Amino acid sequence: MSEINNDFIPFAKPLISEEEEQAVLRIMRSGWLTTGSETLAFEKEFSSFVSAPFAFAVNSATSGLHLALEAAGVGQGDTVITSPYTFASTAAVVHHLGAKVVFCDTEVESFNIDPQKLAEILKTTKHCKAVIPVHVGGLPCKMNEIVSLAHQYGCTVIEDAAHAFPVTYNGKYIGTIGDIGVYSFYATKTITTGEGGMVVTASEKIAKRIKTMRLHGIDRDVWNRYTSKGATWYYEVLDAGFKYNLPDILSAIGRVQLKKANDFKTQRTAIAEAYNSAFSAIKGCLLPPGNSAEDHAWHLYSLRILHEAKLSRDELIEALTNAGIGTSVHFIPLHLMPFYAKTYHYKPDDFPNAVKHFNSVVSLPIWHGMNNNQVHRIIETIQTLLQ
């Protein structure tokens, strides 16, 4: 192993340049900081990028999922099926609307929801309004099967594409295959606005509802009433909406990041390929799900540590931390969390594939902007620890 470098390599880090800084300064000097023309431009550019007829910028992907479910008519007494192998927000928004969360286990070979298990659950689940497939780590779910099954039972498909931009599946961008797609622009994501997200749909009816509910249930765009001579002060509140809009100061960052999205993806793919090449020869390691024929966002690189490995997963995390390398674990299945275990009476062995994945994974740094020395240091450290 080469000489140890004690500089800490963070698990995730955004790549922000002078271009983003200048965009923020432009908005700060414009006299208008909140939602306005910059956000409208961001929505238009994102819509064009993914070829979605409607796109709505929101202050988080969590907000986007909430709006998507509400627009799909999810409410008290309904059920929504999703994976336990996801972040808390995917299920929490279901609960906020008074609906019941029903979990479906992952595939054996991937972290994504299992279509065969989904089919079984749909047969016995009453009042199911929606299915939320989660594209974990940036690997697309088996969307053809999922959409077909969900629509067979009258369910809206809401894609949790928080990890999966920009990724294509059978020629279409993930997020545009179901009825509604939700992306995340959180600080660690493939493009970032610091906090933020985007909701896309091809449905005019759904788009109209999201547009209304995103900002207090008001009947029209009202941001220009303070800046335009022709704007009127009068508006009407059609429903009890939310405050989920994305301000211009963040949209300015998003517009710059969007232009770099494909280059960012190329950088992360190169890191993943270097990792795959190095770790494929290590006994006791299983590479992340996916193969070279599948498009992948590589938001996460989750290496699986098997029982026969030289160190356990937890021992490896501790050793990497001591070596100055940041890691994470994606994910602790939600049915193991006290709230869901208590509320829905779930037991740990109810979703064995999700638990097996959780017990084996360690997510390694994979962010655009990482230099070759950092990548090689991570590879050499893991080779030393596990070989």
**Distance between CA 316 and CA 78 in Å, rounded?**
43
Please give the structure tokens belonging to residue 71. 């627009």
Task: Return the number of other C-beta atoms located less than 10 Å from residue 341's C-beta.
Answer: 15
With a CB cutoff of 8 Å and minimum separation 6, the contacts of 269 are: 296, 298
- Torsion sign across C-alpha atoms 264, 269, 274, 276: positive
Please give the structure tokens belonging to residue 352. 């064995």
Of these residues, 100, 189, 211, 265, which one is catalytic? 189
**Distance between CA 361 and CA 364 in Å, rounded?**
10
Q: What are phi and psi of 325, to 5 degrees?
A: -120, 120
DSSP 312: -
Q: Which helix (H) or strand (E) holds 72?
A: none
Q: Among residues 174, 144, 193, 160, which one has the least CA distance to residue 24?
A: 193
Q: Is 189 a catalytic residue?
A: yes
Distinct helix (H) and strand (E) counts, the chain: 13, 12
Q: What are the respective helix, strand and coil percentages of the chain, to the nearest 5?
A: 40, 15, 45
Distances (CA, A) of 338 to 66, 140, 186, 344, 348: 22, 29, 25, 10, 11
Q: C-alpha 274: how far from its chain's center? A: 24
Burial 309-339 (b: 16+ CB within 10 A, else e): bebebeebbebbeebebbbbebbebbbbeee
Give the active site residues: 189
